[in-house]
Structure 1
Amino acid sequence: MDRGAWKMDLEVSEPIDFGSGDHQHLFRKAADAYTGGKSVRSYGTVPSTQEPQQARGNPHSKAGRRADTYVVPISPETTTDDINPGPFSETAVRRAFIVKVFFLLSIQLLITGAIVSLFVFCKALRSWVIKNPWFNYTLLPAFFVIFIVLACCGKLRRQVPANYILLGLFTVLQGLLLGTVSVFYNAEEVLWATGATALVTLSLSLFALQTKWDFTLLNGMLFVLLFVLIIYGIILIFIRSYWLHLLYAGLGTVIFSLYLVMDVQLMVGGRHHHSDLDPEEYVFAALNIYMDIINLFLFILQLIGMGR
């Protein structure tokens, strides 16, 4: 018999012990086959007691072989978020969070608007505030104390009802401070600034919800710009220049408009890079958006006042 007439096509497999880590070569070979475009080899286990004569009887037939095939799915789009889902993995949790934030924000804006209206339309109160500047200086320490507590004490702003009480006091103090500022403007200017702020806020909020741009990545840059704005404002205390004040108001409007878009995207979360707010941080989220709107109102009020 001619030995060259026989061509043996044998596949030797060994039992795989998953406990000892022998299966790791399957993952490496599957990844190489996926990335390199090569065909994936099958790795099976056959009984060690199989007789050699069965292979020689039909060398090209694999129907008689019994193999356990292990399929390893490799996905290039797998991320750590799929392995460790965040606190907003459920849609209902995110929806409840957004409803709480907008509810608190609406109440804050209504309270602030009511307080500012008293200072704008009550002539006796306007005259008293102008004649007694100490009232404004008395409000500032209390305002900053509560603001620091809400910003730095994470456990306290998550506790009910302490978080609601602090947020209510902060809103009242902010409304009083805005009222003391509004007395130096005409009622018409304040109304125009209120309408412009409402229009800008609505437009930017819709833009933040629809755009594919991720403004949460601008957090560091906006912090630097805010620091520059603060230094710029301190310098303007000693410099009386119309154009420098106009540039200051315009720069502040742009910065807090970007902050508003970023904070809205942080609240909505989803596909954005930085969306690591806790579901219990609805007070903090409402506070951020509220401060963006208030600062935006102040800078728009300056622009309107300087323009008129």
Structure 2
Amino acid sequence: MDLAKKEPGFLDRAAFFVLTHFLKSPKNNDRYPPIPLPAPPPPAQDASPESGIITHDLIVKSILFDDQSIRKAFVRKVFGILVIQLLFTLVVMGICTYNQSTREFMQDNFFIFYVAVIVHVIVMVMLVCVERIRRRHPANLICLAIFTVTMSVLLGMIASSLDSNLIVSAVAITTVLVAALCIYAVQTKYDYTAMGGLMVTFVMIIFILAVCSFWLPDFVDSLPISCLCAAIGSFFLIHDMQSIVGGNRAEQLDPEEYVFAALTLYTDVIRIFLYIIKILQKFN
């Protein structure tokens, strides 16, 4: 027979007995000595990069990029690709500027511009957003070559519609300015890669001006706005240059991102070149 049904207070008295006699806190002279508790875990160590205690992936990247031989090889590879891109673009622009038949062909077949823009945007999105393509050889170099060809065609079409002296002046000024900015970016102790908030602000300004160019082309192409955009482009170049060269910088690219590094520098140089053309047009 169930004891709880036979005596209603039995469970209450049993629970009270257990609580008072078996679960009470024992004293030093009790039969049940205190159970020692485990030692508390050691305090968590700082996981910041400055303390040297970081995740495995970051340790690998840090060790790789802090190695001077790997860093120099990375920089040489990036600048080698960049020089080839710029030389190819200059050749295409020179042909479109000084070869009369090519110049007329570019001006009469404007559909090439739209095809080049579509292919250019697609390849750029693939290189920037798809890491597997950006890091896989030779797919990354093939995409970068297509990107360079389409950009060169677009610049060739622009050059075919402008005066040759203006193009030569813009190329000369861009060369001197880019060289000076690169030297400054490497020599200065000021870290431009730590200015992430300012980078976002400048990107938003460029995007808003690009949208406004459809409704306010005269305002966007004005001399003050062109000078402002050229200054922003110079800031982008310094930022990207420091992230590639590395050193004591807040941000630095992975050594495997040589294609992305060449892409960013090439885009920065072309951006400055286009804004210089706009500035020179205001004085002609």
The answer to whether the superposition gives a TM-score over 0.5 is yes
**Cα RMSD (Å):** 2.3
Q: Distance in 1 between matches of 2:234 and 2:164?
A: 24
Is 2:151 aligned against 1:193?
no
Map 1:151-300 → 2, pairs under 5 A: 151-239=128-216, 241=218, 245-275=222-252, 277-300=253-276
Q: In the aligned structure 2, how far is the partner of 1:137 from the partner of 1:232?
A: 21
1:170-225 superposed Cα distances (whole Å, 9 cap, x missing partner): 11111001111112211000000001100011000000001010001223322322
Per-residue deviation at 1:82?
Answer: 6.8
Helix, strand or coil for the counterpart of 1:185? coil
Deviation at 1:240, TM superposition (A): 5.2
Residues 218 and 79 (structure 1), Cα distance of their counterparts in 2 relative to 1, 3 Å cut: closer
Instruction: Give 1:226 deviation, angstroms.
Output: 2.3
C-alpha deviation, 1:243, in angstroms = 8.3
Counterpart of 2:195 in 1: which secondary structure?
A: helix
Deviates more, 1:223-232 or 1:201-210: 223-232
Structure 1 residues 282 and 244, CA gap change in structure 2 (3 angstroms): closer
Aligned to 2:24: none
Aligned equivalents of 1:243, 1:162: Cα separation in 2: 37
Scaled by the length of structure 1, what TM-score is found?
0.71
**Equivalent residue number for residue 12 of structure 2:** none
Residue of structure 2 in register with 1:75 after alignment? none
- Structure 2 CA distance for aligned equivalents of residues 230 and 186 of structure 1: 28
Residue type of the alignment partner of 2:230 = T
- Local SS of the residue matching 2:69: helix
Aligned counterpart, 1:150: 127
- Letter aligned with residue 286 of structure 1: A
Partner of 2:13: none
Letter of the 1:292 counterpart: D
Per the TM alignment, residue 119 of structure 1 is displaced from its structure 2 partner at its CA by 0.8
* CA drift at 1:83: 6.3
Structure 2: tracts of 5 or more residues without a match: 1-37, 44-48
SS of 2:249's partner is coil
Q: Is the partner of 2:66 in helix, strand or coil?
A: coil
C-alpha distance in 2 between matches for 1:79 and 1:139: 46
The answer to whether the aligner puts 1:301 opposite 2:273 as a matched pair is: no
* Alignment correspondent of 1:72: none
Q: What is the deviation of 1:138? A: 1.6
3-state SS of the aligned residue for 2:96? helix
**C-alpha distance 79-138 of structure 1, shift in aligned 2 (>3 A):** closer
- The TM-score, its normalising length taken from structure 2, stands at 0.77
Code of the aligned partner of 1:222: M
Q: Which moved more, 1:296-305 or 1:214-223?
A: 214-223
Q: After superposition, what is the alpha-carbon deviation per residue over 1:81-128, rounded to whole angstroms, capped at 9, x for unaligned?
A: 476641313111111111110111111111111111111111222222
Is residue 2:93 matched to residue 1:138?
no
Residue 231 of structure 1 aligns with an amino acid whose one-letter code is: I
Shift of 1:21: 7.2
Corresponding residue of 2:68: 91
Rounded to whole Å, the distance in 1 between the matches of 2:261 and 2:54 is 26
Deviation at 1:252, TM superposition (A): 1.3
User: Does the 8 Å CA contact 1:233/1:248 hold for their aligned counterparts?
Assistant: no
Given the alignment of the two structures, is residue 79 of structure 1 paired with residue 86 of structure 2, yes or no?
no
For structure 1, which runs of at least 5 residues remain unmatched after alignment?
Answer: 1-19, 28-77
Q: Residues 185 and 212 (structure 1 numbering): CA distance in 2 closer, same or farther, change over 3 Å?
A: same
* Matched-pair contact (CA < 8 Å) for 1:236–1:245: no
Aligned counterparts, 1:41-80, within 5 A: 79-80=50-51
Cα deviation digits, residues 8-44 of structure 1 (max 9, x gap): xxxxxxxxxxxx979x7xx9xxxxxxxxxxxxxxxxx
- Residue deviations 1:127-172, cap 9 Å, x none? 2222222221121111100000010111211111111111111111
